[in-house]
Amino acid sequence: MKIAIIGGGIAGLTCAARLGQLGISDVTVFDTGKHAVGGRCSSRIVNINGQLSVFDHCVQYFTASDPRFKKILSYLIRDGAVTQWKGPVGHLQRGRFQADSQFTQAYVGVNGMRSVPESLAKFCKVQRPAWVSTIQFDYHLKKWTVDKWGVYDFVVIAHNGKCAAKLTENAGAPEIHRLCHTRFASRVNPKDSRMTLCSLFVLMVAFERSLKLPYEGAHVADSNISWIANNSAKLKGTSSSSGILPGNKLECWTIISSKNLAEQNKVPQEHIPQNVEKRISGIMLESFAEATGLKGKLPVVHFQKLQLWGAAVPLNTLATGSECVFDAQRQIGICSDWLVSPCVQGAAVSGLALAEAIGSCIKGNKSSTSLQPLFKEESQSNPIGAFP
Ligand X SMILES: Cc1cc2nc3c(=O)[nH]c(=O)nc-3n(C[C@H](O)[C@H](O)[C@H](O)COP(=O)(O)OP(=O)(O)OC[C@H]3O[C@@H](n4cnc5c(N)ncnc54)[C@H](O)[C@@H]3O)c2cc1C
Among 54, 167, 235, 261, contact with ligand X (rule: CB under 6 A)? 167
* Number of residue whose CB is nearest ligand X: 9
Peptide bond into 129 cis (omega under 30): yes
Instruction: Tell me which residues in 20-39 interact with ligand X (CB under 6 A).
Output: 30-33, 39
Phi, psi of 343 (to 5 degrees): -165, 175
Residues 3 and 30: their CA atoms lie apart, in Å, by 11
Question: Minimum distance from CB of 387 to ligand X (Å)?
Answer: 7
Among 55, 137, 288, 309, contact with ligand X (rule: CB under 6 A)? 309
Among 4, 5, 6, 261, contact with ligand X (rule: CB under 6 A)? 6
Q: How distant, in Å, are the alpha carbons of 123, 125, 162, 310 from that of 184?
A: 34, 32, 10, 8
Indicate the residue among 10 and 284 with the shorter CB distance to ligand X.
10
Residues 111 and 45: their CA atoms lie apart, in Å, by 10
| Binding flag, residue 81, ligand X (CB under 6 A) | no
Among 24, 27, 163, 308, contact with ligand X (rule: CB under 6 A)? 163
Question: Minimum distance from CB of 120 to ligand X (Å)?
Answer: 10
Contact 99, 218 (CB under 8 A): no
Among 203, 250, 262, 347, contact with ligand X (rule: CB under 6 A)? 347
Residues 274 and 272: their CA atoms lie apart, in Å, by 6
| Binding flag, residue 272, ligand X (CB under 6 A) | no
Residues 337 and 349: their CA atoms lie apart, in Å, by 8
Contact 163, 279 (CB under 8 A): no
Question: Minimum distance from CB of 113 to ligand X (Å)?
Answer: 9
Among 87, 90, 109, 342, contact with ligand X (rule: CB under 6 A)? 342
Largest CA distance in the chain: 69
Total length of the chain: 388
Phi, psi of 136 (to 5 degrees): -145, 130
Q: How far is CA 73 from the centre of its chain?
A: 16
**Rg (Cα) of the chain, in Å, rounded?**
21
Among 40, 114, 194, 259, contact with ligand X (rule: CB under 6 A)? 40
| Binding flag, residue 313, ligand X (CB under 6 A) | yes
Instruction: Tell me which residues in 190-249 interact with ligand X (CB under 6 A).
Output: 200, 202
Among 18, 114, 143, 159, contact with ligand X (rule: CB under 6 A)? 159
Contact 375, 193 (CB under 8 A): yes
Instruction: Tell me which residues in 51-80 interact with ligand X (CB under 6 A).
Output: 58-62
Indicate the residue among 343 and 353 with the shorter CB distance to ligand X.
343
9 secondary structure, DSSP code: B
Interface with ligand X by CB under 6 A: which residues?
6-12, 30-33, 39-41, 58-62, 130-132, 158-159, 163, 167, 200, 202, 256, 309, 312-313, 336-337, 342-344, 346-347, 384-385
